[in-house]
Structure 1
Amino acid sequence: MYEYQIGKTGVAWPALDTIAGLRNAADMRHPAELYPEARRLHRKIIMHVGPTNSGKTYNALRALAAAKRGVYAGPLRLLAHEVYTRLNKGTILPADIDRDPNDPDKLHPRVCNMITGEEKRILAIDAPLASCTVEMLQTVVHYDVAVVDEIQMISDPNRGGAWTAAVLGLMADELHLCGEASAVPIIQSLCEATGDELVVNDYERLSPLQPADEALGNDFSVLREGDCVVAFSRNRIFALKRRIEEETKFRCAVAYGMLPPELRAKQAALFNEPGNEYGVMVASDAIGMGLNLKIKRVIFETTKKWDGTKEITLTLSSIKQIAGRAGRFSLGQDPSAMGTVTAILPHDLDVIKLALQIPTRPLKRAVIAPSPDQLRALLQLLGPKAQPSVVFEMLPYLARVPNMFTLTDMRAAMEASALLESGEDDRLSLDEYWIVLYVPFNSRDFVVAEAFRLLTSSYKDDGVAPLEATLLAIGVFEDYQRVSKMRKKYERPDRKEDPAVFAHILPRLESMHRVLIAYLWLSYRLPTAFHEQPRAFELKEDLELCISFYLRELGTQQHAGKKQARVAEPVDADAVFEEEEDEFADEAYEDEIEADEFVESSPPTARL
């Protein structure tokens, strides 16, 4: 018998006796067999694929609205809330009902619950419909109709495993998958493995999308109502907002990944209201998903973004997703309904025109994640002294995965584990560990990461996790109180102080919001320890008012950095889009300086 150590963990393995067992436990070659109940059904999988603003999701939702029992699952809380609201209001016409020409606006309400990681809205225990984020789907419930949105996310390295589990595991007679046509080959391969019937419905845009003949240039006086200027960092967004408000008659709504979803929706409402002074939006690629915006023209400040190590050109999928937000069908069929896309610089407009001409490349692989049972089996084989982080570190070396799949990115789980495994004497039980590991937080936000460490340490040491003490310890609660006090004072007519003095606090308020989201997530799963849920909701609501106050009153106190000159150069398709591949899913939804916005619904592991 020989022993050796792996990586940084320092855990000794009995080489001959254990490796075979570990390889067997990490065998992921037949993922469809993990869902025997779904395999007993002969499911009909219906894909609705096409560009943005093609009506593909609405047609799937009509089938859901007609179902006796059904579920919608999307990548964002915003989407889950939107579907929840529309179904309960009855604004989605069920597929088995024709629109009444004498009463075209007749409503058809259905009772629908909403379940996301950090919020539950239960209107009725026996509600026939539910709307949720993808990670919250239940594969043990039999549905007549299930709708899974943004199916191209099946290749996202962090969250794609949740989409793969939904496609393989949902017990639905009809499973509707909505998204980009790039996902069709992957779904075809999965259906061959499961034996399910597959129908593919292709959609075209309901209103045309046209690139402008010329770039906008540096003259912001030509901006008009319905324009959306897209930039890729918070600093640039606020610098553009400030300049536009100084040089035009418009005020600017804003939307970006770190802005809480509830406030993105409110900013969208300001922009969408006809005749509102908020005639222009300045946003990141967060507008590409989850917001209904009446954008007439999309203007790219640039077609490059920082990926954390270098500046890269936006991917084909990202450019199309953002550009496609222009020209909403609901604007009408008059010529103004045509969507237009342009850029500030001519070279960027050339890149956009080329991207719109090139077909989106098929996704190569679906992402697969280990099941909780597999993780438990691996940990058991490693012995009582092994920490779960060992499993995350070694799994990429042990897992056997079919060619059509790729293993989920384990880095987020390893980062969360590093914060949890602080000592031997206060270890969590395995059940507690798995619960806490799923908390939606991003370690790149140091304020949130420190709050996660303090909350889990308090839970391990004392069995309870104090909310306000944690907020005070990370230094954000006093900032919040100052802005909250100022907000209430400024609602009086005799305001005198300049709110610019608090401009630097916005990122800290955003971090505090994420801490509250994480606390609420834990309060549903460990209610005795995280027992201050009412207070967390109260703080969350007031904090959102504070951030709205900042966006309204402080506006654009961020100053632009020095802008680097960019020289126009010939556009070559292979060179411009050489980094396309499967990485599009991350890049399409991240801001240059922001944590991944999808962390709002996505824990580190499911992500596992």
Structure 2
Amino acid sequence: MAHYHQKLERNRELTVPEIKQIAGRAGRYGSKFPVGEVTCLDAEDLPLLHSSLKSPSPIIERAGLFPTFDLLSVYSRLHGTDFLHPILERFLDKAKLSPDYFIADCEDMLKVAAIVDELPLALHDKYVFCQSPVDVRDDISTQGLTQFAENYAKKGTVRLKEIFTPGTLRVPTTHNQLQELESVHKVLELYVWLSYRFDDSFPDRELAASQKSICSMLIEEYLERSGWQQQGQRRVLRTPRKLRREYDALQLRGYFREIDARSK
């Protein structure tokens, strides 16, 4: 049972804790689906799944710590700077922990800090952007974050239409188009996340959330049309179902116009 690791750029085997964590996402507490089910893409992985779920969880010997804003704020005042990247870099270099703890991976945070340090933002705002779920290995996702941060710094209000045009989403026809649509989904997800941290400054949460859902449907439609390519043999899925409410291209454009009108 393998997982594609972006940093390693190759597949690696999942550990027992990782399998348990993924399986634990099935179902949602407090919803009408509190109990979920988990399975594998390949039948030969099912015994490993079963044994992993029955295995005792390993004892956690060390815990990861992440620098909080309060710590970095104190460090900022002590060194007389509000540039987050050098503050964070120096903090990580100087931090001393007992053997029971380690500093969590802050590589992505440092990359975002280098971007937001170019903008006239308060230290706390920079920290929030660094906490966001941006995929720094995805150019479109990174560009989305940069545009959001720039518009926030200049205007204080970030409208979704300044970076994303409603009505332009389509079912992908190639793998490259699929990857691009996945990147757009990440940007929309990022906007929604930021809207909960900067409520008044990112006012198009409903529009972003609705289009994120459309992205998911279009991705699913592509996968159902294409089927799965596994070990050189094509697996034929069930007959592709139409998009929810049988949206065709014209209906999708009408849907986006309706959502766009609501956001004004």
- TM-score interval, smaller chain: 0.5 to 0.7
Q: Which has the higher strand share?
A: 1
Aligned-partner Cα distance in 1 for 2:105–2:159: 32
Q: Which residue of 1 aligns with 2:61?
A: 364
CA spacing shift, 1:461–1:231, aligned 2, 3 Å: same
**Per the alignment, in what secondary structure is the counterpart of residue 343 of structure 1?**
helix
- What is the distance in 2 between the residues matched to 1:526 and 1:352? 41
Alpha-carbon distance in structure 2 between the residues aligned to 1:521 and 1:321: 22
How far is 1:358 from its partner?
A: 8.0
Of residues 15, 22, 38, the one that matches 1:315 is 15
2: distance between equivalents of 1:364 and 1:550? 43
TM-superposition CA deviations, 1:121-151 (whole Å, max 9, x none)? xxxxxxxxxxxxxxxxxxxxxxxxxxxxxxx
- Correspondence for 2:226 among 555, 566, 571: 555
**Partner AA of 1:555 in structure 2:** S
Deviation at 1:454, TM superposition (A): 1.1
Contact 1:445 1:511 (8 Å CA) reproduced: yes
CA distance in 2, matches of 1:529, 1:442: 22
Residue 308 of structure 1: how far off its partner (Å): 1.0
Q: Per-residue displacement from partner, 1:70-119 (whole Å, max 9, x unpaired)?
A: xxxxxxxxxxxxxxxxxxxxxxxxxxxxxxxxxxxxxxxxxxxxxxxxxx
Aligned residue type for 2:196: Y
Q: Is the 8 A contact 2:64 2:103 kept in 1?
A: yes
- CA distance in 2: counterparts of 1:394 and 1:412, whole angstroms: 16
Q: Is 1:437 the equivalent of 2:130? A: yes
Correspondent of 2:44 among 330, 335, 343: 343
CA distance in 1 between partners of 2:18 and 2:210 (Å): 36
Residue 418 (structure 1) shift: 1.7
CA deviation map 1:213-258 (0-9, x unaligned): xxxxxxxxxxxxxxxxx6645xxxxxxxxxxxxxxxxxxxxxxxxx
- Check whether the contact 1:520–1:536 (CA below 8 A) recurs between aligned residues: yes
Q: 1:413 aligns with which of 109, 114, 134?
A: 109
| Structure 2 counterpart of 1:509, one-letter code | L
Q: Which amino acid aligns with 1:363?
A: I
The 8 Å contact of residues 16 and 52 in structure 2, kept in 1 or not, is answered as yes
Q: Is the 8 A contact 1:317 1:360 kept in 2?
A: yes
Q: What code does the residue aligned with 1:392 have?
A: L
- Write the distance in 2 (CA, Å) between the matches of 1:536 and 1:362: 41
> Which residue, 114, 126, 145 being the options, matches 1:452?
145
Larger radius of gyration: 1
Please state how far the C-alpha of 1:546 moved relative to its aligned partner: 2.5
Structure 2 counterparts to residues 489-504 of structure 1, below 5 A: 501-502=173-174, 504=176
Residue of structure 2 equivalent to 1:530: 202
Q: 1:39-438 to 2 correspondence within 5 Å?
A: 232-233=3-4, 308=8, 312-318=12-18, 343=44, 361-384=58-81, 386-422=82-118, 426-438=119-131
- What secondary structure is seen at the aligned counterpart in 2 of 1:367? strand
Question: Residues 2 and 13 of structure 2 are in contact (CA less than 8 Å); yes or no, is this contact kept in structure 1?
Answer: no
Give the conservation status (yes or no) of the 8 Å contact 1:417–1:437: yes
Q: Is the 8 A contact 2:65 2:102 kept in 1?
A: yes
Q: Which amino acid aligns with 2:44?
A: A
Of the three residues 187, 190, 197, the one matched with 1:515 is 187
1:463 counterpart (156, 161, 164) = 156
SS of the residue 1:531 aligns to = coil
Gap change, CA 1:561 and 1:308, over 3 Å in 2? farther
* Structure 1 residue matching 2:133: 3-state secondary structure: coil
Deviations 1:164-218 (A, max 9, x none): xxxxxxxxxxxxxxxxxxxxxxxxxxxxxxxxxxxxxxxxxxxxxxxxxxxxxxx
Q: Matched residues in 1 for 2:54 and 2:130: separation?
A: 43
Partner Cα distance (2:232, 2:57) in 1: 35
Contact kept in structure 1, 2:144 and 2:163, CA below 8 Å: yes
Q: Secondary structure at the match of 2:164?
A: helix
The code of the aligned residue for 1:531 comes to: P
Confirm or deny: 8 A CA contact 2:121 2:153 kept in the other structure.
yes
Q: CA deviation at 1:391?
A: 1.9
Contact (CA 8 Å) 1:479, 1:509: kept in 2 or not? Answer: no
| Distance (Å, rounded) in 1 between the aligned partners of 2:179 and 2:208 | 19
Cα gap change, 1:537 to 1:356, in 2 (>3 Å):
closer
Counterpart-to-counterpart distance in 2, 1:541 and 1:319: 27
1:487-536, Cα deviation, whole Å (9 max, x unpaired)? xxxxxxxxxxxxx7355422222222221121122223323331222322
1:361 shift after superposition? 3.9
- Secondary structure class of the residue paired with 1:529: coil
Partner residue, 1:176 = none
Question: Is the contact between residue 133 and residue 190 of structure 2 (CA under 8 Å) also seen in structure 1?
Answer: yes
SS at match of 2:121: coil
- Contact 1:416–1:437 (Cα < 8 Å) also in 2: yes
Counterpart CA distance in 2 for 1:531 and 1:377 is 32
**Deviation, structure 1 residue 312:** 4.2
Q: What is the DSSP-based 3-state SS (H/G/I as helix, E as strand, rest coil) of the residue aligned with 2:102? A: strand
- Structure 1: where are the runs of 5+ without partners? 1-229, 234-304, 332-340, 484-499, 564-608
2-structure distance, mates of 1:538, 1:359: 41
Alignment check: 8 A CA contact 1:448 1:511 kept: yes
TM-score normalised by structure 2 residue count = 0.66
Is the CA contact 1:320–1:356 (under 8 Å) kept in the aligned structure 2? yes
Pairwise CA distance, 1:323: 8.9
AA aligned to 2:79 is L
Seq. identity, %: 24
Which structure shows the higher helix fraction?
2
Matched residue SS, 1:471: coil
1:393 maps to a residue whose letter is E
Q: More relative contact order in 1 or in 2 (CA 8 Å, sep 6+)?
A: 1
Give the 3 Å change call, closer, same or farther, for CA 468–231 of structure 1 in structure 2: farther
Contact 2:3 2:14 in 1 (8 A): no
Q: Distance in 1 between matches of 2:209 and 2:56?
A: 45
**Contact 1:522-1:530 within 8 A present in 2 as well:** yes
Aligned CA distance change for structure 1 residues 530 and 312 (closer, same or farther; 3 Å): closer
State TM-score, norm by structure 1: 0.31
